Structure 1
Amino acid sequence: MSTHRASISDLAAQLNLSVSTVSRALSDHSRISDATKKRVWELARQLNYQPNQLAAALRKGRSNTLGVVVPHIDGQFFALVVKGIETIANQAGFNVMICQSNEDAAQEQKNVETLLNAQVDGILLSLSLSTHDFGYLEEIRRRDIPMVFFDRVVESKEVSAVVLNDYQGGYEAVCHLIEQGCRHIAHLGGPQHLNICRNRYQGYADALQHYGLPLDPALVSFSDLRIQDGRQGMECLLAQAPQLDAVFSCNDLALVGAMQVIKRRGLRIPQDVALAGFSNELFDSLTEPMLTSVDQRCEEMGRTAVQMLLELINEGPTKVAPRQVVLQPNLLIRESSLRSSVLQETKV
């Protein structure tokens, strides 16, 4: 079977017409006769001709395509952010090209190069866990390609970005645990070069300070926040601080790993160890008990980021001042942290 894709040149050659005449006929140009249009369209159907939308858009100065780079689309957060991006982008007449860095800085750079080669009109980017060098982003600026960061961002007033108030989310989650009677609260933290992890940790530390509780290094474990990291971190925390009575995790994935260890040790949740996480994953309502978590307003983040990008595209990146939008978190309290209600029921 032939894999040759029919082109305008193929149509023109078979019909003995010029390429420009065929192009105008396909575009229903008023100067082309109905008879010629009919001949062109009939042959186009026979050859299964598909117009090159990218080439047509580029002739008009745009590809009508936006590029998105995410660390991964496992779990709910980035999938819902992308959903928000696509909803607004499609309404505005743009297609979306999605790339995953898989938490690898080198792959992230390749993703950006791919998007630049595809001549996207703008880029939305969330950094990988391993990204420390931002030099490769200079090529985007050199080409005047509009760019907006979201969630994991370059911390600079010179870039446009949409983030969650991660500090406030961490602070509220830990205050909630303290108000449930917890006094030895451990933290499963992520890489501190990332803004989201550092801000959540700071919220944890400041909540302890607000209530006059010490920040104990033995109650803190940093990792890449995978399920196995949560397991390993919890084993170390229980060995170092067996008195711990709560865990605040920087994400829900690591918290599930911690929960497995807690249950294996015969400890009760939340009576012995209360749990609170971050990201409000779909599985939070499927665990036993259901997990308290900070909702990150994922779709709103995606919608807001792409709206900012479209503004930059329409106005020009040099004409719109960089700005940062901060969304407020929402603490969703579920059974894993409701320790006081459990204690009251026990007393009754």
Structure 2
Amino acid sequence: MKPQVTLKRISEMLNISISTVSRALKDHPDISETTRRKVQELAQMLEYEPNAYAISLRTNNSKEFGVILPDISNHFYLSFIASLEEEARRYGYSLIILQSGNDQAIERDNVKRCRFARVAGVFISVTAETEDIKEMLKMDEQNIPVIFCDKVPAFEACNKVCVADEQATHLAAAELLKKNKKNILAIFGDAHLSITQIRMLAFTAYMSEHNASAKYTIIHAANPQEAATAVQKAMKARRRPDAIFSMSDDILTGVMRSIQRSGLRFPDDIGLIAISDGYLPGLYYPEITYVETSGYKLGKLAFNRMMSCLSGSLFARTLIADAVLVPGGSL
């Protein structure tokens, strides 16, 4: 293994002090031109690279952002990461991607890792179990801004960037009523998540306000398998649903698994509408009608908020990425 080239090694080879090497590499005017040239030529020959971690500890000026997500396997978070990375590169930053696996203990460890590394800031989507965010908010004391994204805590006095959950749900409910659906199976995610609670309340409020005759059944599914099982059970009932509302891409995966196994056809046998990033609906024929909540747009919005915080914006804000209805052939 090639030994690491350090300032100490360069200083020993040239028989000068470490501080002289450091200043020579920075073109400090107190160092003679001859010494600067010797130091820089040797550093180039040895392929010396500054230790970014050591510099950030010394200057408290990191060029890395921490990104903590429950799961990076779904397209929403992949596009969110891609969006953040595009913006970070433009401004000379890089990303440290950490996955909590929806486990609160792992999430806490990831938060500590970011704090000890003194990253420039943290983007985090919390787990379904997360209620106490004190450790995350402590980072503000070290001038490390925290931007909560997508799955955010209920606590108000913090920076949040979310998709337009209420607007997206209203658009989906309106489309179901427009298509004259009378018996709707509405599948929502983990009941502990604020995103689930917001979308469920928006759905029930809209349905109550706009159409008393349409009936709907609400169930919760924490993962695709639970969603698939719920659909199978509903389709065996005496009064089968004529449409399904899927709260997210995770749930949509399970819904489609069950529908395809049952041999049901859109839109004749059953209707379907989902809130989605847009990738999954395009994989099926006919394409699934969905309300777009874009991870890519969310990433841009989150990064802009992070840069505002780094520029001195001290007050907490909640920013919303708009939702858009994208008609397909499933409803």
CA distance in 1, matches of 2:140, 2:48: 37
* CA shift for structure 1 position 119: 0.5
CA distance in 2, matches of 1:125, 1:252: 19
1:186-205 maps to which residues of 2 (within 5 A)?
A: 186-205=185-204
Tell me the number of residue pairs that the alignment of Structure 1 and Structure 2 aligns.
330
The alignment yields a C-alpha RMSD, in angstroms, of 2.1
Q: Secondary structure at the match of 1:326?
A: strand
CA deviation map 1:76-115 (0-9, x unaligned): 2112222222222332332222211121111111110110
Equivalent residue number for residue 16 of structure 1: 15
Gaps of 5+ in 2: none
Equivalent residue number for residue 48 of structure 2: 49
Q: Secondary structure at the match of 1:149?
A: strand
* CA shift for structure 1 position 184: 0.5
Is 1:303 equivalent to 2:297 in the alignment? no
Equivalent residue number for residue 330 of structure 2: 336
Is 1:324 equivalent to 2:323 in the alignment? no
Contact 1:252-1:293 within 8 A present in 2 as well: no
Q: Which letter does structure 2 place at the counterpart of 1:294?
A: V
The TM-score, its normalising length taken from structure 2, stands at 0.92
Further displaced range: 38-47 or 287-296: 38-47
Q: Which letter does structure 2 place at the counterpart of 1:224?
A: A
Is 1:264 equivalent to 2:264 in the alignment? no
The TM-score, its normalising length taken from structure 1, stands at 0.88
Equivalent residue number for residue 163 of structure 2: 164
Equivalent residue number for residue 343 of structure 1: none
Equivalent residue number for residue 252 of structure 1: 249
Which of 223, 241, 253 pairs up with 2:221? Answer: 223
Is 1:234 equivalent to 2:253 in the alignment? no
Q: Which letter does structure 2 place at the counterpart of 1:251?
A: S
Contact 1:172-1:331 within 8 A present in 2 as well: yes
CA distance in 1, matches of 2:328, 2:121: 40
Q: Secondary structure at the match of 1:336?
A: coil
CA distance in 1, matches of 2:267, 2:223: 21
Q: Secondary structure at the match of 2:3?
A: coil
Contact 1:225-1:250 within 8 A present in 2 as well: no
Change (3 A) 1:136 1:214: farther
Q: Secondary structure at the match of 1:145?
A: coil
Q: Secondary structure at the match of 1:309?
A: helix
Is 1:213 equivalent to 2:210 in the alignment? no
* Percent identity of paired positions between Structure 1 and Structure 2: 28
* CA shift for structure 1 position 253: 3.2
* CA shift for structure 1 position 243: 2.5
* CA shift for structure 1 position 127: 0.8
